[in-house]
């Protein structure tokens, strides 16, 4: 079977709601495909018991349909669903790349972004591309109406994933409809700082750019212990902390030497409020890899 390793991703990064995204070195989904008369899907791995195998309800199935590429698809989930780590996008991006290869469709990774986003439309109600773009292109990505911009980066990160489920669909409902000009000015400044920080590989600038007064405060309320976890990470040396995607994952940008202490502090802080969690010491990484 043709095999693709597709990375977890973190969208928004605070100031870039529905715009910024980053591929994570780990965790990742493994997607295997072979040609078939009709599409079937077998799921295994983290949280797979909560993911429908019906192709009409699975992001990989939506991609097979969009590419007109029926296949026997096996997905080993490394990225737990409803995590804020682009779980649904990892499978969609992995399937898009794998089926493009399997059927020699000849589409570029950029051309596969809107196709993989069909999977996001299926599960969250909107074809937002801020997870599938980094899942396919790697690095740091900016999704705008007129296209996607990508820059390689390798900023060290800690992602702490509590044992809480927050669906992207639910977390999109708490996003405010409007904001003040003051908040808009602050957000533009933060987003610009973060973008330059990615280009310069500067964790301190990226961290400053992760502040957000608009979407993150509303979503933080859905995550037990968020404020304590954020404070603990900052005390342990994080340069910036925010909700990963729609949550409940919490992401910290940092220097590599502080990663282990930050991971321990975040785990302890969740534990103090009675929430089990796991931490990934990771970094911004590459896009998917194809194995033949
Ligand atoms: N291949 C898939 N991988 C992960 N989740 C999937 C997949 N196909 C469908 N889903 C559904 O998508 C939802 C998880 O997506 P979402 O809420 O966006 O979480 P995440 O932030 O982890 O991407 C769950 O309801 C899950 O059942
Ligand atoms: N921009 C989206 C990103 C959702 O990411 P996920 O990893 O939680 O699916 C949003 O914030 O709703």
Can you give the pLDDT at residue 290? 95
Structure tokens at 162: 């509590």
Can you give the pLDDT at residue 237? 98
Can you give the pLDDT at residue 58? 97
Cα dihedral 88, 91, 94, 97, rounded to 10, equals -70
Residue 86: CB within 6 Å of ligand 1? yes
β-pairing, 156-162 vs 250-253, is: antiparallel
| Nearest ligand by distance to the CA of 11 | 2
Tens-digit pLDDT profile for the chain (292 aa)? 999 999 999 999 999 999 999 999 999 999 999 999 999 999 999 999 999 999 999 999 999 999 999 999 999 999 999 999 999 999 999 999 999 999 999 999 999 999 999 998 898 888 889 999 999 999 999 999 999 999 999 999 999 999 998 888 889 899 999 999 999 999 999 999 999 999 999 999 999 999 999 999 999 999 999 999 999 999 999 999 999 999 999 999 999 999 999 999 999 999 999 999 999 999 999 999 999 8
Query: Which residue minimizes the CA distance to atom 4 of ligand 1?
Result: 88
Active site annotation includes 49: no
| ipTM of predicted assembly, 2 dp | 0.97
User: Probe ligand 1: pick from 50, 74, 88, max atoms within 8 Å of CB?
Assistant: 88
CB 191 within 8 A of CB 206: no
Q: How far is the CA of 83 from the centre of ligand 1 (A)?
A: 9
Contacts 24+ apart (CB under 8 A), 257-262: 259/156, 259/157, 259/158, 261/236, 261/237, 262/158, 262/233, 262/236, 262/237, 262/238
* Residue among 59, 141, 168, 216 flagged as catalytic: 168
Can you give the pLDDT at residue 19? 97
Q: At what angle do helices 226-235 and 259-272 cross, to 10 degrees?
A: 150
Counting from 1 in the atom list of ligand 1, the atom nearest the Cα of 131 is 23
How many whole angstroms separate alpha carbon 134 and alpha carbon 245?
13
Residue 80 annotated as binding site: yes
Can you give the pLDDT at residue 126? 80
Residue 178 annotated as binding site: no
Cα–Cα nearest to 65, from 2, 119, 7: 119
Can you give the pLDDT at residue 170? 86
Counting from 1 in the atom list of ligand 1, the atom nearest the Cα of 59 is 8
User: CB-based burial of residue 275 (10 Å sphere; 0-12 exposed, 13-18 middle, 19+ buried)?
Assistant: middle
Residue 10: CB within 6 Å of ligand 1? no
Residue 75: CB within 6 Å of ligand 1? yes
């Amino acid at each position: 079977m043709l095999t693709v390793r597709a990375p977890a991703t973190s969208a928004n990064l605070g100031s870039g709601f529905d715009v910024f995204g980053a591929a994570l070195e780990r965790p990742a989904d493994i997607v295997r495909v072979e040609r078939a008369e009709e599409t079937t899907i077998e799921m295994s791995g983290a949280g797979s018991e909560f993911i429908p195998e019906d192709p009409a309800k699975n992001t990989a199935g939506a991609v097979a349909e969009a590419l007109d590429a029926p296949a026997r698809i096996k997905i080993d989930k490394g990225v737990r669903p409803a995590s804020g780590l682009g779980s649904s996008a990892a499978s969609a991006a992995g399937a898009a790349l794998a089926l493009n290869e399997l059927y020699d469709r000849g589409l570029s990774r950029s051309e596969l972004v809107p196709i993989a986003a069909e999977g996001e439309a299926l599960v969250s109600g909107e074809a937002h591309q801020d997870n599938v773009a980094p899942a396919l292109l790697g690095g740091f990505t900016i999704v705008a109406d007129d296209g996607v911009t990508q820059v390689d980066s390798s900023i060290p990160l800690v992602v702490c994933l509590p044992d809480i489920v927050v669906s992207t669909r639910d977390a999109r409902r708490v996003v405010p409809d409007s904001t003040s000009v003051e908040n808009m000015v602050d957000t533009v400044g933060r987003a610009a700082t973060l973008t330059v920080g990615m280009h310069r590989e500067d964790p301190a600038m990226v961290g400053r750019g992760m502040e957000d007064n608009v979407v993150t405060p509303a979503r933080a309320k859905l995550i037990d212990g968020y404020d304590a976890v954020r404070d603990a990470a900052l005390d342990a040396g994080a340069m910036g902390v925010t909700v990963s995607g729609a949550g409940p994952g919490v992401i910290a940008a940092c220097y590599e030497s502080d990663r282990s202490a930050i991971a321990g502090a975040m785990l302890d802080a969740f534990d103090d409020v009675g929430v089990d969690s796991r931490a990934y010491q990771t970094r911004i990484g590459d896009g998917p890899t194809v194995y033949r």
